Amino acid sequence: MTSAAPPVVTPVQFQTSNTMDSPDGNMTLTLVASGASYSLFISSKPDEQKVKIYEKEELSSHKLEIPYNTWSPDNKYVFLKESTPTLNNYYVFSTTGNPVSDNAQQVNIQELFSQKLPDYKITDVTGWAGPTLIIVNVSANKDGQNISFWFDVSNQSFTQLGTYFN
Amino acid sequence: MGILIVIIFGSFLYPFITTKKVPCANTISCQNAPKFEAETNVTGIYNNQPVFVPNISLSKNENVNPVLGIQTSRGEKHIYVNLATQTLSAYEGDSLILQTPISSGRWGKTPKGDFTIWAKFRATRMAGGSGADYYDLPNVPYVMFFSNDEVPGSAGFSLHGTYWHNNFGHTMSHGCVNMKTTDAAKIFEWTDAPANGNQGTKITIYGDPPV
């Protein structure tokens, strides 16, 4: 079948932003940078009142960003990307501002991963496969093989997948 | 003469003999004709996890931000889905109305080609797979079924909103084109189903998804 020729359009790079609505449009995540200080806010429609859930002073070589798929599908969690000269950290927060786990306000996926799976390095965290499952793309240190894992926020475990989310 | 008769007869039958059956997008729910279906306070299943299912609001005042250009038509409506970049672009004539990441088929292929929307439902149930791949998703929102001569409506392929994952820009589905629910709502309001002898809005799906 001959298909209609699509127009030549350069897709917008949907990577990071300083604000992102939840997929259902009911909540908004806002990252405000003031010098080296970053503050993270959650607001809900319709009142739009911002509630701060996190703040951090960053080194000048570091940068915090909101990834496109930051929101968990049930709006209970968000994750941020922190770029540094050596590696990227990915922090998971509860949108209520409550601790994600028993003893931590946020979970650092990079830190946990490097402790549990030192034979791999994270190349990207793409988004949510489910309410508590984050997709983590990695490459094997030995041979560079690309593999995807689920990180389960509820129990902080990693599960290797049989498919790679390119 | 006998050989000529066989050739003519075979040519007539060829389209029917070689017609391939198109796999169904949702193997369980597409056994029946699609219909509007909305349930209240139910739970879905996806990736072996229970999934919170949003209730469907049918209020006419439902907060759906309209797509740009609704007051004056700028030309024919046409949706392009680029499987290579996992992007949907909606046009009126040459005017780009909306561009957004989507998730096309990973566990089943999203068909490529030129299609038209043949039905729209504010919500419906989608179920399929088996074992670890089993899913049951009530209240799938803003569903726009599409078809062509090779991919019939009964195969159940559609554009629709998504409440069970948020990994747009990457293949995730069983063949449908998953969209953020807010984007699907805009497209749902903007597209046309068949009416008054006119076909529904055109959709062109092209490119090869990332391996």
What percentage of residues in chain B have a pLDDT greater than 90?
68
pLDDT value of residue A43: 94
- A118 Cβ under 8 Å from any chain B Cβ: no
pLDDT value of residue B150: 95
Cα–Cα nearest to B141, from B38, B25, B15: B38
Cα–Cα nearest to A125, from A54, A67, A62: A67
pLDDT greater at residue B196 or residue A9? B196
pLDDT value of residue A58: 87
Q: Are B74 and B96 in contact (CB under 8 A)?
A: no
Portion 5-24 of B in contact with A at CB < 8 A: none
Question: Which residue in the set B51, B167, B185 is minimally distant from A131, CB to CB?
Answer: B51
- A162 Cβ under 8 Å from any chain B Cβ: no
Q: Do A24 and B182 touch (CB under 8 A)?
A: yes
Neighbouring residues of B198: CB distance < 8 A, sequence distance ≥ 6: B192
Supply the mean pLDDT for chain B: 86
Portion 136-175 of B in contact with A at CB < 8 A: 148-150, 162-172
pLDDT value of residue B15: 32
> What ipTM was estimated for this complex?
0.90
Average pLDDT, stretch B171-177? 95
pLDDT value of residue A46: 82
Which residues of chain B neighbour A135 with C-beta distances below 8 Å?
A: 167, 170
> pLDDT category, B58, cuts 50, 70, 90?
confident
Q: Which residue of A has its CA nearest to B148?
A: A1
Cα–Cα nearest to B94, from B114, B73, B110: B73
CA distance B40 to B116: 31
pTM of the model: 0.88
pLDDT value of residue A7: 65
Portion 75-134 of B in contact with A at CB < 8 A: 78, 80, 82, 85, 87, 89, 91, 94, 96, 99-101, 106, 112-114
Q: Are A138 and A122 in contact (CB under 8 A)?
A: yes
Cα–Cα nearest to A19, from A88, A70, A53: A70
Question: A109 to chain B nearest CA, in Å?
Answer: 17
pLDDT value of residue A15: 53
pLDDT value of residue A10: 55
- B54 Cβ under 8 Å from any chain A Cβ: yes
Average pLDDT, stretch B120-127? 96
Q: Is residue B106 over pLDDT 70?
A: yes
Could you list the beta-strand ranges (E) of B31-174: 43-46, 49-52, 77-82, 87-92, 95-101, 113-128, 135-147, 158-162
pLDDT value of residue B61: 46
pLDDT value of residue A143: 94
Which residues of chain B neighbour A126 with C-beta distances below 8 Å?
A: 167, 169-170
Which of A21, A69, A153 is best to mutate for the B interface (most B CBs within 10 A)? A69
Q: Do B164 and A73 touch (CB under 8 A)?
A: yes
Cα–Cα nearest to B155, from B175, B132, B127: B175
Prior bond of A46 cis (ω within 30°): yes
Q: Do A128 and B167 touch (CB under 8 A)?
A: yes
Q: What phi-psi label fits residue B21: left (phi over 0), alpha (psi between -120 and 50 degrees) or beta? A: beta
Question: A79 to chain B nearest CA, in Å?
Answer: 12
Question: Which residue in the set A11, A45, A126 is minimally distant from B87, CB to CB?
Answer: A11
Average pLDDT, stretch B162-189? 96
Query: b/e map of A141-165 (b: 16 or more CB within 10 Å)?
Result: eeeeeebbbbbbbeeeebeebeeeb
**Cβ pairs A/B, distance under 8 A:** 108
Residue segments in chain A with a per-residue pLDDT below the cut of 70: 1-17
CA distance B136 to B42: 11
Which of A75, A126, A151 is best to mutate for the B interface (most B CBs within 10 A)? A126
Alpha carbon of A118 to those of A62, A88, A115, A158, B106: distances in Å?
23, 15, 6, 13, 29
Question: Which residue in the set B47, B52, B96 is minimally distant from A9, CB to CB?
Answer: B96
pLDDT value of residue A47: 79
Question: B138 to chain A nearest CA, in Å?
Answer: 15
Q: Which residue of A has its CA nearest to B114?
A: A3
